[in-house]
Structure 1
Amino acid sequence: MLFLVNNYLIFWKGWPGLWNFFAHHELFGISALRIPLSPDAQILGWIQTIILILLILVIILFVLKTPIRTLSEDSRIFTRFAAYLTRACFWAVFIVGCVDIVISFLRLEDLLSPMFGKVMAVELGRSVFRGTYVHYPLIILSFVIAFFVRGLGFTWLALLVVIAEFQIVISRFVYSYEQAFMGDLVRMWYAALFLFASSYALVTEGHVRVDVLYSRFKTKTKALSNAIGCVILGAPLCLVILTTGMWGKANSLNSPLLSFEVYQQGFGMYTKYLMVGFLVVFAVCMLVQFMGYFLNSTAELIEGQMNSDQKLKNNP
C-alpha cells in the first residue's frame, strides 16, 4: 500500500519521490540529478521522507506493544483486509459500470445536451472529466458501502455478466440494436469477476491445485509447502506486476491510468483505464492474501512444533 501511495504522489501529484530526493542530496551513493530539485520539491521530498520514517516507527512500536498477538490473528487481519478490498472493488465496478453505460447511451443518442446542457455534454465526452468527476467519486462511495456491507458481493458478478450478455442478445435479435458500450460492460464485469475473486479463492482453497504430492503430505508438510510457495512464487509474482507496471510514468499500468485511456470506438464506455487498474487490484489483493496465507501456515508450523515439544515433555 505504501508503494501505491508513493506512486500516486509521484506520478499524479508531481512529488519528487525518495529516489530523486536522495539523488538531489547525493545520499547513499546515488548519482546527483542533472537538474536539481526546486525548493518546493525539496520540501515535498522531506515530507515523504519523514512520513516513511514515521510509518516505520509506528510499525516497530505496534510490534513491541502487541507481544502476545499470534500469527493466526495477524493472518485473519490480512484476510479481512483483502476481503474488504474485494468487496469495495465489486461495488465500484457495479456502480461505475451501471452509471457509465447510461452516460454512454445518452451521449450516443444525443440526449446529454437536453438533459444536462451543452457544456456538460461536452465535458462528459472527455475521459479525464468523466473519470475524475464521475468514476472517482463513485469509487470512493463504493469503499464506504463495502465498509458497512459485509457480504462478498463479487459472487454476484457472475449473474451480472449473464444479465449483461442476455440484454445484448435481446437488443440485437429482437430490437436490432447493438452498440459498443454494451460489449464493454460485459468485458468490464467479466474481467473483474476473475481478477477480484482470486484472493478469496486462494484462502478458501478454491483454485485448481495441480495436486500430485500435496494431498499425501502431512499437515506440517502442507503448511511448509504453502509457506514456501507464498514467499517464493506468490508474493514475487504480485511484486513483479506492480513494479514493472508502475515503476515509471510510461509503464504499462501507470500510462493508461494517468491518461484515462479509453477504447477507440468513440462512443463506448470510458472504463478501459479502470480495467488496467483491475490488475493493480489483483496484485494487491493477492499479495495481501499471500502474506496472510504465509502467516497462517507459519502459525501451523510453530503450533505443531510446540505441540510436539509438549508431548515429549509430558512423555519423557
Structure 2
Amino acid sequence: MKQPLLRWQQRLTGFTLALGRSTAWLALLLVLGMMLVVTLRYGFGIGNIALQESLTYLHGALFMLAIAYTLAEDEHVRVDVLYQRFSPRQRAWVNLLGTLFLLLPVCGALFWLSLDYVLSSWKEQEASANGGLPFVYLLKSLLLILPALLTIQGLAELMRHSLTLMGATLPAPEQHPEDGL
C-alpha cells in the first residue's frame, strides 16, 4: 500500500516542481519586458499598450502557475504559531485535515465559480478593449488552471501526510530528488 502511494505522491510532486521551475523563467521575462517598456517610453518616447499588457499576462501567469510549487516546497504562509512545536505526526494531521477540509474545497469552489466566467470569455474570444492584446480569454483561463494545479499538489500532499501517518519516512520538501536537475 505504501509503495504505490509513494510513487504517485512523487510523480505528482515532481510534475508540480518541474512546472514551478519552468515558470520561474517568467520572472526574468517580466523584468526584461519592464526594462524594455521603460526604455522605450522614457528613452524614445514610444508607448506600446500591447507590450505593457503582456507584462500583466506574464505577472499573472507567474503567480498562478507557481502557486502549487510553493505548496510543494512547503513555503506557503502559515499562521499557526503552535505548528512549529508539533511533532511530525501532529503536523501531518494538521496538514492532512487542512488540505482535505480547506484547500481542496476552496480549489473546487474557485474552479466552479470561475468556470462560466472563463467559458464566456472563450466564447466571445475576449480581447483588450483599449487596443492591447487580443488574448484576454487566455489570461482568464488561469482562473481554472490555478485550482487545477493546486488540486494536483493537494492530492500529493494528502498522500505525503497519509504516508507520514502510516509511519513512512519521506524526504523534506527541500530534499526532493528533482532538486539536482
Q: Considering the TM-score relative to the shorter chain, is it more than 0.5?
A: yes
Which amino acid is the alignment partner of residue 141 of structure 2? Answer: G
Residue from 106, 117, 139 that aligns with 1:275: 139
Deviations 1:172-231 (A, max 9, x none): 011100021011111000011111110011010122222411101100000011000111
User: Are 2:36 and 1:171 aligned?
Assistant: no
Asked if the contact 2:2/2:163 (under 8 Å) is kept, the reply is no
User: Are 2:120 and 1:255 aligned?
Assistant: yes
Q: Could you say which residue in structure 1 is the equivalent of 2:152? A: 288
Cα distance, 1:157 vs. partner?
A: 1.4
Cα distance, 1:245 vs. partner?
A: 2.2
Moved over 6 A (4+): none
Q: Please, what is the CA RMSD of the aligned residues?
A: 1.6
User: Are 2:30 and 1:161 aligned?
Assistant: yes
Residue from 61, 73, 92 that aligns with 1:223: 92
- Cα distance in 1 for residues equivalent to 2:75 and 2:2: 32
User: Are 2:13 and 1:79 aligned?
Assistant: yes
Q: Could you say which residue in structure 2 is the equivalent of 1:183? A: 52
Structure 2 length-normalised TM? 0.86
Between stretches 69-78 and 174-183, larger displacement belongs to: 69-78
Q: Could you say which residue in structure 1 is the equivalent of 2:63? A: 194
Q: Secondary structure at the match of 2:99?
A: helix
Q: Could you say which residue in structure 1 is the equivalent of 2:179? A: none
Asked if the contact 1:71/1:298 (under 8 Å) is kept, the reply is no
Matched-pair identity in %: 25
Alignment CA distance shift 1:218-1:269 (3 Å): same
Q: Could you say which residue in structure 2 is the equivalent of 1:264? A: 129
Cα distance, 1:83 vs. partner?
A: 4.2
Unmatched segments (≥5 aa) in structure 1? 1-66, 88-151, 305-316
Which amino acid is the alignment partner of residue 70 of structure 1? Answer: P
Which amino acid is the alignment partner of residue 126 of structure 2? Answer: E
- Cα distance in 2 for residues equivalent to 1:232 and 1:257: 31
Structure 1 length-normalised TM? 0.51
- Cα distance in 2 for residues equivalent to 1:202 and 1:168: 33
Which amino acid is the alignment partner of residue 81 of structure 2? Answer: V
- Cα distance in 2 for residues equivalent to 1:68 and 1:176: 63
User: Are 2:110 and 1:241 aligned?
Assistant: yes
- Cα distance in 2 for residues equivalent to 1:296 and 1:68: 10
Between stretches 256-265 and 289-298, larger displacement belongs to: 256-265
Cα distance, 1:244 vs. partner?
A: 2.1
Q: Could you say which residue in structure 1 is the equivalent of 2:77? A: 208
Could you say which structure has the greater relative contact order, defined with CA pairs below 8 angstroms and 6 or more residues apart?
2
- Cα distance in 1 for residues equivalent to 2:63 and 2:38: 23
Unmatched segments (≥5 aa) in structure 2? 169-181
Alignment map for 1:50-69 (pairs within 5 Å)? 69=3
User: Are 2:166 and 1:302 aligned?
Assistant: yes
Aligned residues: 168
Cα distance, 1:154 vs. partner?
A: 1.2
Q: Could you say which residue in structure 2 is the equivalent of 1:149? A: none
Cα distance, 1:153 vs. partner?
A: 1.6
Asked if the contact 2:16/2:72 (under 8 Å) is kept, the reply is no
